[in-house]
Structure 1
């Protein structure tokens, strides 16, 4: 570790630390960047028992404890954004930047089931195309179409990065349990630290007009911004914008 402040990056469900591969170098000159892979995800710690957001957050807390870090700046996408909120609730965050954070729904209501169905569709489509994945991902058109539910410009990923993302998804053991969770974000007021929620303009999973409205009610002190031209995983569409927003949030 250096004298830079620590910054923890948390990825979305069925992804891995690879989701931040382009963003990390853009932040490493100002922060000690930590980008672990979540428990139950490809490359992360194994899980015993049922997967839940609370359990994954427990694992992340232990990770910080092992590094001797009481508090860190936290940025997360989707599931990672939700975990960032929970770390703030536990007093472990200096600041939070949630990029399309999950959990802002009523369990079992259409706003959860719709997003869950889209993510399951992405998983099933990826599984069905797995045998031809390395060859298919050489096509920019295939990358854009196969990722249209999570990115506005999936073709901006390299073929190797797109194949890695698909492999992460297929080898995530916690994915289905997390998609079926009955958890949701509980109210957080007052804020324990500064919180910014960044909503991708073209998000097909958690649209701002639905999930952002719920977030305003549950976390009334948070700042809300829009990420133009981006989809649910904005690090794919505009990593430089994501890095800038994260840095501004931590500042």
Structure 2
């Protein structure tokens, strides 16, 4: 029997899994029926049978998941790759609203805004692979957790050792990392938004900085609501799950617009 709540689907970033949302989901369930799938080719998700995988293939798989669950339209939220997925699904007419948290896909044809991000992510993947044997011991240290994940979070020390180790296991188990990082796809401008879209950019994003990728996003989607989330890194679910939940719920209309965000006040902030 239906709960009467509208569906809310959460999409994680590249190399991650549905576990990325563990701290956020309990803060959403009073308002929505929450679904948090693991993406195609990622650890715990559907297997990628045809390679190389494109972002459109991952979006296709997510759309099949909606069909299988009988969800015609849902509120969608996603981080990084997941934000890109949410936007693409909205352009296919599957969204009631979108909350895109530092979404990937906003770079130009020359790779501006993509090259540096991919380089950092490749370094992170290489480091995790290299240090795998010592991670169970090393990640017991809050300092090591914070330093080793500093490109994606400001406060990774807030994760438990088990959570940090699970994140590295997800990364190593992602079969499509190189495919996704090597894509030439991007999010194109549209003349009109298909639904309300919030572009919520992490203030301390070291992967897709608001001054670069956030600026491109604003130029391509000028009708979208643009916000800066204070004090959080590229994966804000790690740093401040309450802020993330409130930002999503403000987008779906379940709660009033939150105050722990700011709009860019100058070109330097954008």
Tell me the TM-score normalised to structure 1 length.
0.98
What are the residue-to-residue correspondences of 1:147-186 with 2, within 5 Å? 147-186=149-188
The equivalent residue for 2:38 is: 37
Query: How far did 1:111 drift?
Result: 1.8
Query: How far did 1:31 drift?
Result: 0.5
Gaps of 5+ in 1: none
What are the residue-to-residue correspondences of 1:96-245 with 2, within 5 Å? 96-245=98-247
Q: Give the Cα separation in 2 of the matches to 1:241 and 1:145.
A: 22
The equivalent residue for 2:68 is: 66
Instruction: Write out per-residue CA displacement over residues 20-46 of structure 1, whole angstroms, 9 at most, x where no aligned residue.
Output: 001000101110000000000000000
Q: Secondary structure at the match of 1:2?
A: coil
Q: Secondary structure at the match of 1:111?
A: coil
The equivalent residue for 2:87 is: 85
Does 7-16 or 101-110 show the bigger shift?
101-110
Q: Give the Cα separation in 2 of the matches to 1:54 and 1:3.
A: 31
Q: Give the Cα separation in 2 of the matches to 1:200 and 1:210.
A: 12
Q: Give the Cα separation in 2 of the matches to 1:33 and 1:189.
A: 30
Instruction: Write out per-residue CA displacement over residues 97-146 of structure 1, whole angstroms, 9 at most, x where no aligned residue.
Output: 00000000024524211000001111111111100111111100000000
Q: Give the Cα separation in 1 of the matches to 2:59 and 2:200.
A: 21
1:46 aligns with 2:38: no
Q: Secondary structure at the match of 1:160?
A: helix
Q: Secondary structure at the match of 1:124?
A: helix
1:8 aligns with 2:12: no
Q: Give the Cα separation in 2 of the matches to 1:245 and 1:189.
A: 25
Q: Give the Cα separation in 2 of the matches to 1:108 and 1:48.
A: 30
The equivalent residue for 1:27 is: 28
Q: Give the Cα separation in 1 of the matches to 2:107 and 2:101.
A: 16
Q: Give the Cα separation in 2 of the matches to 1:197 and 1:25.
A: 22
The equivalent residue for 2:264 is: none
Query: How far did 1:188 drift?
Result: 2.1
Q: Give the Cα separation in 2 of the matches to 1:188 and 1:26.
A: 32
Q: Give the Cα separation in 1 of the matches to 2:59 and 2:53.
A: 11
Tell me the TM-score normalised to structure 2 length.
0.92
Q: Secondary structure at the match of 2:67?
A: helix
Q: Give the Cα separation in 2 of the matches to 1:110 and 1:130.
A: 32
Contact 1:189 1:220 (8 Å CA) reproduced: no
Gaps of 5+ in 2: 254-270
Instruction: Write out per-residue CA displacement over residues 157-201 of structure 1, whole angstroms, 9 at most, x where no aligned residue.
Output: 111100000000001001111000000001122011000011111
Q: When the two structures are aligned, how many residues end up with a matched partner?
A: 251
